[in-house]
A and B are shown apart, each in its own frame.
Chain A
């Protein structure tokens, strides 16, 4: 049973080795080869999977993003409906995740964890020094006031960011769009009925923040390096999927609510911007039975809790005992189970097929990675959907 995944760094590696350990304990008779293919954002993993699927030498399972990203693998995936039904995962896994795990009328993948995208992390002492109350950050204007306060009252960078890859400005733009234009405007654009003016307004706001309130070296640093600035007290705010949270937990003397805090990205308090990590199951693998055992294992409560506690993501079983999770994750679980707006992430593949995502990145890379041209970028982005 061969399963490929891309979690090689820090928390990901620790979480996966826990997963492997649990698998060996529970299924000592199942030979397995659960192996990492390293690289940023699944880049090498996806390339390896593409090569092996094209060469008719598929692994038995591989980690990827479900939703629209999964569509490209269409005819090459098998149904694991039986696993879902026999284990009642059709009842116990979050309905949104159920929907995203299906393709062509069958379950062809199973979710392992969800990261939330609309986070605004902050450094508590920098905000205190600037006199900013994080609870007040519920709109774009309030956020700009806070950035101004940090700029005038402290030596810290108001907002630390990375623009090394085009996915990052794309993600920032989506955050600002959701925060200022709302979910309906965003999804209308994804459905091909976008309002160009709304895109331009959102891009203008994104540009304003990137050009006036961020670190100069954003184009040459990665997201962990950007996040380090917040941990070191050199920056006030950082927005990123909550995989950034793993870094805070690993940092020495850097505690939730004492040293760092979290609010939803301004204007997105009622949303859980949605991301999923799933295992997908190709047809014509070498060990279809064992792959089913693995799929069943991924959905169990213990795996969902143990893996996600280490990875910093959120389990998708709706029946986990919240006290088994860390405080910060538990807060997100409550939002996951109670909020009603779940806009899917664009930069992480739920909302767009591989071709569409690539076209969005083309538009960003052409006109929104310095110099920033909202009008031209909006034209490019409008053409995608």
Chain B
């Protein structure tokens, strides 16, 4: 009786050790654990720091007294609200407009317009450039006296506008520059999605008498869901990385108030003032905000079965 169950147990162990899980273990475990430590370990440690009172150079973080004091302080800090609002506007406007523009361009290209390859290259090229280059380049473009933007607007009798100096315009100017840089990326993602759809669907829609507009609206765009999820996620990550763009544009962590985002505030608190715990709390707020923005969309896509 006992030897039978032992044999059974041995057989199971032998089967387990030959299973795909165990045999593939050395291959996926190392990269997985490095990734988990880097990403989730980082998030976890950051959250832990944000619960301490860690600041300055003289003492390390004290993990015996954890509380939400830093978050209370953040909620009462007007700069957190200002920068949070700017971050939110940047996330929403940049991601939405870039996706719409990318979709429009992809459909144009998919219709087989002339100079297709050239247009594709022209739109994609900005993405290959570093923020350091594009930020300086747009700073020149936006110069109130001799920038190209005002020169062009002057031709149609508008302006000149003080794009960088006017607090009402500067956030829009930064968002526009980011859209310019990333609409090509959205275009490529949507174009790949479009080209994977069989031509039959266009033909069937045509036979049914649907207009081109209606074909896209009813038949094609609904099938681009997985493309739009991946585009949205990547674009939001780029929006969070706007820190690099702003830093390159203004040469310092303190950017004009109207473009100040949570990421710049976080870096100032951490590396200029050594308020490590407070900066960690801001980082957590930023993470939650990004998740909150994208969560409803991911949930919807999940229900639709495209995730």
Contacts and interface: CB of A to CB of B under 8 A. Distances in A.
Interface of A: 39-41, 43, 46-47, 50-51, 53-54, 72-76, 163-166, 215-222, 354-355, 358, 361-362, 365-366, 369-371
Nearest to A74: B58
Given A47-B272, A220-B142, A75 B165 contact: no
Given A216-B162, A217-B143, A220-B139, A354 B273 contact: yes
A164 B251 contact: yes
Interface string B128-145: 000000000001001111
Interface string B252-266: 111011001000000
B79 A362 contact: yes
Nearest to B54: A54
A356 to B, nearest CB: 10
Given A217-B145, A220-B164, A369-B257, A165 B272 contact: no
B246 to A, nearest CB: 12
Contacts of B225: none
A43 B271 CA distance: 9
5 contacts: A46-B272, A72-B57, A76-B57, A165-B252, A369-B256
Given A43-B253, A165-B252, A355 B143 contact: no
B9 interface: no
Nearest to A40: B251
Contacts, number: 92
Interface of B: 56-58, 79, 139, 142-147, 160, 162-167, 250-254, 256-257, 260, 267-268, 270-274, 276
Nearest to B163: A220
A365 B254 contact: yes
Contacts of B147: 220
Contacts of B166: 370
B272 A220 contact: no
B252 A41 contact: yes
A216 B142 CA distance: 12
B144 A217 contact: yes
B271 A46 contact: yes
B273 A219 contact: no
Contacts of B254: 165-166, 361, 365
A166 B167 CA distance: 14
A54 B167 CA distance: 36
Contacts of B267: 47
B144 A358 contact: no
B274 A54 contact: yes
A64 B159 CA distance: 43
Given A216-B162, A370-B165, A51 B271 contact: yes
Nearest to A366: B257
- Ordered nearest first, which 5 A-B pairs have the shortest CB separation? A219-B165, A47-B271, A40-B251, A220-B164, A75-B58
A74 B139 CA distance: 39
Given A75-B58, A216-B162, A221 B143 contact: yes
A166 B259 CA distance: 13
Nearest to B78: A366
Given A164-B250, A165-B250, 12 more contacts: A40-B252, A50-B270, A72-B274, A74-B58, A164-B251, A165-B251, A215-B145, A216-B145, A217-B146, A218-B165, A219-B165, A362-B79
- Name the residue in A219, A361, A366 with the highest tally of chain B Cβ atoms < 10 Å from its Cβ: A219
A222 B165 contact: no
B165 to A, nearest CB: 3
B148 to A, nearest CB: 13
Nearest to B267: A47
A6 to B, nearest CB: 13
Contacts of B164: 164, 219-220
A219 B274 contact: no
A64 B178 CA distance: 35
A355 B278 CA distance: 14
A43 B267 CA distance: 11
A371 B276 CA distance: 33
A366 to B, nearest CB: 6
Contacts of A361: 254
A47 B272 CA distance: 6
Nearest to A39: B251
Nearest to B271: A47
A53 B57 contact: yes
A75 B143 contact: no
Contacts of A358: 268, 272-273
A50 B56 CA distance: 9
A215 B274 CA distance: 36
Contacts of A43: 251-253
B56 A72 contact: yes
Nearest to A282: B57
A237 B163 CA distance: 25
Nearest to A216: B144
A365 B271 contact: no
B139 to A, nearest CB: 5
